[in-house]
């Protein structure tokens, strides 16, 4: 057997096998077009990387495979869950408790703590554990001032960083030269007092949570990094100091392989930018703080958020982050519970200790799919970065509103896909349960760069439905097997809007449908059956029902031939697989609400 080998296979052989499984359909039917304008193929081979330079080992330029040669074996990622101390618990106690449970970095939301408590932080905490904190310029300055009073503060490590560009983008304000001068002074003074601490943040989460795609996030990261570097060089801070203080923050979304490739591309691209500034190889490495996406979380069927966060955390780790925050499943409430906080932290511990991800070095390396995706993202992000620079840099692109429009265009495409259910949000626009108890989402603060969740449009429909308890009648024709598929489809189609259904089965005559309408007195009915039944009975049913309820709306499940004849007979609308679910539900709820008030 030692001399036996597998027969060499060509891409044509693989395609043939795939098309056999597809029962004759072309393999191209499995192609998918992403929001990054990348065409994903179902099959990748080494030819997809032909003439492409790919890092052979982790820790080597271009660092796509990681900044460390042994990955997490020597440099584990930091479990940086944002702590929320309870009213009866001091910050010291909250941090100590979290560390006993597996936390490895001091992390919290600057707006949710008493910063003065940092002045009494136990020495052994900040000697042993790094910080993982972000805030605006004022919060950063207050936190650093509080820590400066501590004994042995020179041992403080990790990052306490701010990104004035992202803050200005959310506020819709122009960057103030004086605030940049003050920020530079803070960076310089902190470098002298706490040399191990990083203080410069490039925060792309603000754009991710506004709807940006991976290419836009990467280009914005580069443009913001260039802005910070240029501004601080101008203020007499050395390039070596600037690069040693930089941390890049990314939110990790639900497109698993795209998110892995995004983080790999980020390291690749930043190494090229840093090289162009004259940095040596060690200075070109990128430190990444990751967090699971707020954009993907829902208030309905909230426990699915655990699966979403787990998937996103998995992608973040495989992508090579250094710090990670996993959002609690009730993140939309902006107030973690003991349970949600524990589950979120344990998600990381399971990935680290039970999935053994701390014992591997870049498992994605060498995958033709991920390497190809990494290259395509890098090429497109570089092109967009250059376009931003041609427009005067990141601040000009934001001040003119050009960049916000690019992000809004992507968000509009994402919304269109969830409206038509081309993209599923489990528990929200598909498999929605009318019995769900939703999370109580925190009211949004106004922002020039709105921070949104993709599920929000449907959640707004549910808020309307909770006030009026809407119902629609299903006129189910003939035997169960004739109408069940379409009746079930319509029930699932209406549920995302909070509309329940009342069924009348075995309808074979117009008089039966009229009796059902007379009994239920609903404003909207959908006829469910086969196309042949529609041609036989639909006109009669419409006529009979409208004789007793002239203003009732009657729709048809499916899209049969000769739609004009059905419309002439009085059918108001067809509901089918390609229908815009959101638009139809919004229209129905508006009509039902108006009828309720009348």
What is the tens place of the pLDDT at every residue in 250-260?
A: 999 999 999 99
Q: DSSP states of 528-577 as a string?
A: ES-HHHHHHHHHHHHHHHHHH-TT-EEEEES--S-HHHHHHHT--EEE-T
CA dist 444 and 156 (Å) reads: 34
Say whether pLDDT at 171 is over 80. yes
pLDDT of residue 10: 85
pTM of the complete model: 0.95
Phi, psi of 181 (to 5 degrees): -60, -45
Residue scoring higher pLDDT (43 or 125)? 125
CA dist 430 and 535 (Å) reads: 30
Per DSSP, 173 falls in state -
For residue 381, whether the previous peptide bond is cis, meaning omega lies within 30 degrees of 0, is no
Which segment of 6-10, 326-330, 503-507, 570-574 scores lowest on mean pLDDT? 6-10
Say whether pLDDT at 51 is over 70. no
pLDDT of residue 1: 73
Q: What average pLDDT does the segment 144-154 reach?
A: 95
Phi-psi map region of 427: left, alpha, beta (phi>0 left; psi -120 to 50 alpha): left
**Residue carrying structure tokens 């769900």:** 436
Q: At 299, list the tokens.
A: 């208030």
**Residue carrying structure tokens 């052979």:** 56
Q: What average pLDDT does the segment 164-173 reach?
A: 96
Q: What average pLDDT does the segment 414-441 reach?
A: 97
Phi-psi map region of 362: left, alpha, beta (phi>0 left; psi -120 to 50 alpha): left
Q: What average pLDDT does the segment 313-324 reach?
A: 98
Q: What average pLDDT does the segment 524-543 reach?
A: 97
Q: Are 286 and 63 in contact (CB under 8 A)?
A: yes
Say whether pLDDT at 598 is over 70. no
Burial of 556 (0-12, 13-18, 19+ CB in 10 A): buried
Cβ count within 10 A of residue 561 = 10
Q: Are 381 and 269 in contact (CB under 8 A)?
A: yes
Cβ count within 10 A of residue 360 = 14
pLDDT of residue 373: 96
Q: What average pLDDT does the segment 322-340 reach?
A: 96
Say whether pLDDT at 580 is over 70. yes
Say whether pLDDT at 94 is over 70. yes
Element (H, E) at 502: strand 500-507
Q: At 91, list the tokens.
A: 């910050």
Q: At 59, list the tokens.
A: 């820790």
Q: At 490, list the tokens.
A: 């319509």
Mean pLDDT, the chain, integer: 95
Q: DSSP states of 408-473 as a string?
A: HHHHHHHHHHHHTTSS--BTTTBS--TT-----PPPPPP-SS----TTHHHHHHHHHHHHH--EEE
* pLDDT grade for 5, boundaries at 50, 70 and 90: confident
Q: Which of 40-44, 360-364, 497-501, 594-598 has the highest mean pLDDT?
A: 497-501
Q: DSSP states of 49-81 as a string?
A: GTT----SSTTSTT-TT-SSTTGGGTSPPEE--
CA dist 34 and 26 (Å) reads: 20
pLDDT of residue 124: 94
Q: What average pLDDT does the segment 214-243 reach?
A: 98
**Pair type for strands 524-528 and 553-557:** parallel
Question: What percent of the chain is predicted at pLDDT more than 90?
Answer: 89
pLDDT of residue 511: 97
Considering only CA atoms, which of 233, 230, 282, 290 is closest in space to residue 260? 290
Q: Are 430 and 492 in contact (CB under 8 A)?
A: yes
pLDDT of residue 197: 98
Say whether pLDDT at 208 is over 70. yes
Element (H, E) at 381: helix 368-390
Element (H, E) at 250: strand 246-252
CA distances from 475 to 292, 527, 596 (A): 44, 5, 22
Q: Are 70 and 290 in contact (CB under 8 A)?
A: no
**Pair type for strands 197-203 and 39-40:** unpaired
């Amino acid at each position: 057997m030692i001399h036996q080998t597998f027969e060499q296979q060509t891409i044509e052989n693989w395609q043939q096998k795939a098309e056999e499984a597809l029962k004759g359909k072309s393999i191209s039917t499995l192609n998918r077009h992403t929001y990054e304008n990348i065409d994903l193929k179902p099959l990748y081979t080494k030819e997809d990387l032909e003439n492409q330079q790919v890092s052979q080992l982790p820790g080597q330029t271009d660092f796509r495979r990681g900044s460390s040669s042994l990955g997490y074996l020597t440099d584990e990622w930091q479990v940086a869950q944002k702590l929320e101390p309870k009213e009866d618990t001091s910050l010291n106690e909250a941090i100590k408790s979290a560390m006993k449970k597996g936390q490895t970095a001091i992390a919290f939301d600057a707006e949710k703590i008493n910063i003065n408590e940092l002045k009494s932080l136990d020495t052994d905490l900040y000697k042993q554990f790094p910080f993982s904190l972000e805030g605006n310029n004022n919060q950063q300055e207050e936190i650093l001032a509080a820590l400066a009073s501590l004994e042995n503060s020179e041992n403080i490590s990790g990052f306490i960083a701010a990104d004035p560009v992202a803050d200005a983008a959310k506020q819709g304000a122009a960057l103030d030269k004086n605030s940049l001068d003050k920020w530079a002074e803070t960076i310089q003074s902190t470098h002298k007092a706490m040399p191990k601490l990083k203080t410069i943040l490039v925060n792309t989460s603000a754009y991710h949570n506004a709807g940006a795609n991976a290419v836009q996030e990467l280009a914005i990261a580069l443009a913001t990094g260039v802005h910070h570097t240029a501004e601080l060089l101008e203020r007499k801070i050395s390039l070596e100091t600037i690069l040693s203080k930089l941390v890049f923050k990314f939110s990790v979304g639900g497109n698993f392989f795209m998110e892995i490739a995004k983080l790999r591309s980020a390291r690749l691209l930043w190494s090229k930018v840093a090289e162009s500034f004259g940095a040596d190889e060690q200075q070109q490495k990128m430190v990444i703080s990751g967090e699971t996406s707020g954009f993907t979380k829902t208030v309905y069927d909230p426990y699915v958020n655990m699966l979403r966060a787990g998937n996103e955390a998995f992608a973040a780790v495989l992508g090579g982050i250094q710090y990670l925050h996993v959002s609690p499943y009730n993140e939309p409430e902006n107030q973690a519970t003991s349970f949600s906080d524990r589950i979120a932290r344990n998600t990381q511990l399971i990935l680290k200790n039970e999935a053994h991800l701390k014992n591997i070095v870049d498992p994605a390396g060498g995958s033709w799919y991920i390497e190809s995706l990494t290259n395509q993202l890098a090429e497109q992000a570089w092109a967009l970065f250059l376009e931003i620079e041609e427009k005067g840099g990141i601040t000009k692109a934001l001040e003119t509103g050009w960049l916000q429009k690019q992000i809004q265009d992507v968000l509009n495409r994402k919304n269109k896909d969830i409206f038509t259910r081309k993209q599923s949000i489990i528990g929200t626009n598909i498999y929605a349960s009318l019995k769900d108890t939703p999370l109580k989402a925190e009211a949004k603060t106004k922002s020039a760069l709105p921070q949104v969740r993709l599920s929000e449009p449907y959640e707004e429909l549910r808020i309307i439905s909770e006030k009026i308890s809407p119902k629609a009648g299903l006129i189910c024709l003939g035997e169960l097997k004739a109408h069940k598929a379409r009746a079930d489809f319509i029930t699932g189609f209406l549920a995302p809007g909070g509309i329940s259904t009342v069924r009348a089965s075995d309808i074979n005559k117009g008089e039966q449908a009229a009796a059902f309408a007379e009994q239920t007195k609903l404003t909207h009915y959908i006829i469910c059956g086969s196309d042949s039944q529609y041609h036989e009975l639909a006109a009669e049913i419409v006529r009979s029902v409208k004789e007793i309820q002239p203003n009732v709306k009657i729709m048809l499940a499916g899209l049969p031939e000769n739609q004009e004849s059905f419309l002439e007979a009085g059918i108001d609308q067809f509901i089918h697989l390609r229908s815009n679910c959101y638009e139809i539900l919004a229209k129905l709820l508006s009509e039902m609400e108006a009828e309720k008030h009348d």
